[in-house]
C-alpha cells in the first residue's frame, strides 16, 4: 500500500460528495418527496458565488424539485452568478444534512469485463476487436481480441472515438510506476480501464456499496474522499474527477487539495455538467444535468476554467463530448413527462428531435458537459 494512501481508515469521514449516508429509495411512494420541505435548520444561505466569489446574481430557476431520483424533499432556487455565469443553489442543504438528497446511486454493481472470454456473436466479437484495437493503440492497453482497423474507424467516426476516449478520460499513456487517483470512483469501471492502460491505480468513494463493489474487482479503494489525504502531498501523477465538483459545498478548496496531491506537471481530468449547454437552455427545469439538490453548483466554462487557473492549473484543454447529446436529451424528455430519466419510456426521441441531433454542435458553449484536461503549473 502506498505511503500516501491511507485507505479504509477506521472512522474516516465520508465526505467525497458530502454524502454521509445512503437512504431509502422513495421512488415507489405515491406522494412526491418534494411535498415535504427541507428542514429549515438544515439549510445554509450563501453570500457569494462558490466558484468566483462574485456577489451579483440573477434568479435562473425557482421551485426546483428532485425529479431525477424522487428522493429529496424540498423546493429550491437556482441563481446564476453574473460574474462567471455559473449557477448555484441558495439556500442549499448543509453538509450535515445533504445525505437526505441521496437515494439509490447507481455505482454499486460490478461491471462486466471489456475483454469477455466467452464466445460472443460475430458482430459483438468484431465490435470488441475494433474497440480493443483503438484502446491498445491510443492508451497502451493489451486487450484481445484486437484489430488495427479500430484505429482507422475511430478517425472516420468521431462519435465512436469520443466514447472510447471518455472511457479512458483522455489521459496520456503512463510511464512505468505512475500513480492515478480517481475521486468518486464508484464501482471502479474507470479504474479497471486505467489499470489496463498501465496506471498504478487507486480510488476513493463515500458510498460503502460502491467501495465494496470496486474491491471485489481487486482494486485498491478507500471509503471517503480527499480528506483521507490531509497530510499528504505530491503523491499522484494524475487525478480524475468525473461528475464530482458539482456535488461539493466548497469546490475551490477541494481543487486546492487536489493541486497539493499532484506531482509537478501532474494531470487533472474534470468532467461536469455545463449550465450554459444547449440542453440546459432547451429543457430548463427538466434538464438532466440539474439534478437538484444533489448538484449544488453548476459550472459555466468561464467559471470552471477561472477556478482551475486560480487553483494553480494551466495548459487547459477542452475535450468535446457531443456524442452524449442523445442520452441527455432522452433523459430530459423523460423528466419533462414526469418519468425517471433512467427508465425505458420513451425509448426514442421524437422525429424532429432526432433530426436536430444530426446537426453538428459548433460552439463549445453548447456542449452538455465541460470536459477538461489541465496540468499542475505552480506550487
Domain boundaries, given as residue ranges, for the chain: 33-101, 170-376
Q: Give the mean model confidence (pLDDT) for residues 45-60.
A: 97
Whether the per-residue pLDDT at 3 is higher than 80: the answer is: no
Of 124 and 136, which is predicted with more confidence? 136
Confidence of residue 111 (pLDDT cuts 50, 70, 90): low
Q: What confidence score (pLDDT) does residue 27 get? A: 44
258 near 239, Cβ under 8 Å?
yes
What's the CA dihedral at 57, 371, 346, 77 to 10 degrees?
-20
Do the bridges between strand 369-376 and strand 76-81 make them parallel or antiparallel, or are there none, so unpaired?
unpaired
The CA distance from 224 to 207, in Å, is: 8
The DSSP symbol for 329 reads H
C-alpha closest to that of 168 among 145, 200, 142, 197: 197
Tell me how far CA of residue 22 lies from CA of 12, 76, 258, in angstroms. Answer: 16, 21, 25
The CA distance from 269 to 236, in Å, is: 13
The CA distance from 103 to 250, in Å, is: 22
Q: Give the mean model confidence (pLDDT) for residues 326-343.
A: 96
The CA distance from 333 to 336, in Å, is: 5
Whether the per-residue pLDDT at 107 is higher than 70: the answer is: no
SS3 31: coil
The CA distance from 243 to 290, in Å, is: 12
Confidence of residue 22 (pLDDT cuts 50, 70, 90): very low
Q: What confidence score (pLDDT) does residue 362 get? A: 74
Q: Give the mean model confidence (pLDDT) for residues 193-221.
A: 96
Determine the number of helices (DSSP H) and then strands (DSSP E) in the chain.
10, 13
Percent of the chain with pLDDT over 70: 87
C-alpha closest to that of 308 among 245, 225, 365: 245
Whether the per-residue pLDDT at 305 is higher than 50: the answer is: yes
> What's phi and psi for 133, nearest 5 deg?
-60, -40
C-alpha closest to that of 189 among 175, 177, 173, 205: 205
Mean residue pLDDT across the chain: 89
**Can you read off the three cell numbers belonging to residue 148?**
488495427
Tell me the whole-structure pTM to 2 decimals.
0.90
The pLDDT tens digits for 247-286 are 999 999 999 999 999 999 999 999 999 999 999 999 999 9
- Which region among 48-52, 212-216, 302-306, 350-354 has the lowest average model confidence (pLDDT)? 350-354
Whether the per-residue pLDDT at 7 is higher than 90: the answer is: no
Q: Give the mean model confidence (pLDDT) for residues 319-334.
A: 94
Whether the bond between 91 and the residue before it is cis, its omega within 30 degrees of 0, is: yes
The DSSP symbol for 103 reads -
274 near 300, Cβ under 8 Å?
yes
Structural class in CATH, domain 170-376: alpha beta
Q: What confidence score (pLDDT) does residue 10 get? A: 30
Amino acid at each position: 500500500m502506498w505511503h500516501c494512501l491511507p485507505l479504509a481508515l477506521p472512522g474516516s469521514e465520508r465526505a467525497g460528495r458530502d454524502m454521509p449516508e445512503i437512504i431509502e429509495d422513495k421512488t415507489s411512494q405515491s406522494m412526491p418527496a418534494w411535498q415535504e420541505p427541507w428542514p429549515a435548520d438544515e439549510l445554509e444561505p450563501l453570500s457569494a458565488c462558490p466558484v468566483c466569489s462574485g456577489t451579483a446574481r440573477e434568479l435562473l430557476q425557482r421551485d426546483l424539485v428532485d425529479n431525477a431520483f424522487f428522493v429529496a424533499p424540498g423546493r429550491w432556487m437556482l441563481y446564476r452568478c453574473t460574474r462567471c455565469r455559473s449557477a448555484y443553489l441558495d439556500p442549499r442543504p448543509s453538509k450535515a444534512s445533504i445525505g437526505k438528497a441521496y437515494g439509490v446511486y447507481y455505482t454499486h454493481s460490478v461491471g462486466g469485463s471489456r475483454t469477455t472470454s466467452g464466445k460472443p456473436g460475430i458482430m459483438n466479437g468484431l465490435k470488441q476487436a475494433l474497440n480493443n484495437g483503438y484502446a491498445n493503440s491510443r492508451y497502451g492497453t493489451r486487450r484481445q481480441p484486437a484489430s488495427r482497423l479500430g484505429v482507422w474507424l475511430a478517425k472516420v467516426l468521431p462519435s465512436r472515438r469520443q466514447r472510447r476516449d471518455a472511457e479512458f478520460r483522455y489521459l496520456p499513456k503512463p510511464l512505468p510506476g505512475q500513480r492515478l487517483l480517481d475521486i468518486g470512483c464508484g464501482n471502479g469501471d474507470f479504474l479497471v480501464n486505467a489499470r489496463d492502460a498501465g496506471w498504478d491505480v487507486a480510488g476513493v468513494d463515500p458510498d460503502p456499496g460502491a467501495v465494496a463493489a470496486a474491491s471485489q474487482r481487486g482494486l485498491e479503494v478507500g471509503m471517503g474522499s480527499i480528506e483521507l489525504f490531509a497530510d499528504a502531498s505530491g503523491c499522484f501523477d494524475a487525478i480524475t474527477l468525473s461528475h464530482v465538483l458539482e456535488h461539493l459545498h466548497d469546490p475551490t478548496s477541494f481543487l486546492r487539495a487536489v493541486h497539493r496531491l499532484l506531482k509537478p506537471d501532474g494531470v487533472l481530468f474534470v468532467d461536469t455538467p455545463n449550465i450554459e449547454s444547449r440542453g440546459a437552455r432547451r429543457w430548463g427545469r427538466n434538464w438532466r444535468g440539474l439534478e437538484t439538490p444533489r448538484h449544488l453548483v453548476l459550472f459555466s466554462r468561464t467559471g470552471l476554467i477561472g477556478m482551475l487557473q486560480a487553483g494553480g492549473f494551466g495548459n487547459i484543454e477542452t475535450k468535446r463530448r457531443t456524442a452524449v447529446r442523445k442520452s441527455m436529451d432522452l433523459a430530459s424528455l423523460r423528466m419533462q413527462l414526469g418519468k425517471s430519466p433512467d427508465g425505458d419510456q420513451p425509448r426514442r426521441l421524437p422525429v424532429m428531435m432526432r433530426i436536430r441531433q444530426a446537426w453538428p454542435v459548433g460552439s463549445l458553449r453548447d456542449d452538455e458537459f465541460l470536459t477538461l484536461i489541465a496540468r499542475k503549473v505552480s506550487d
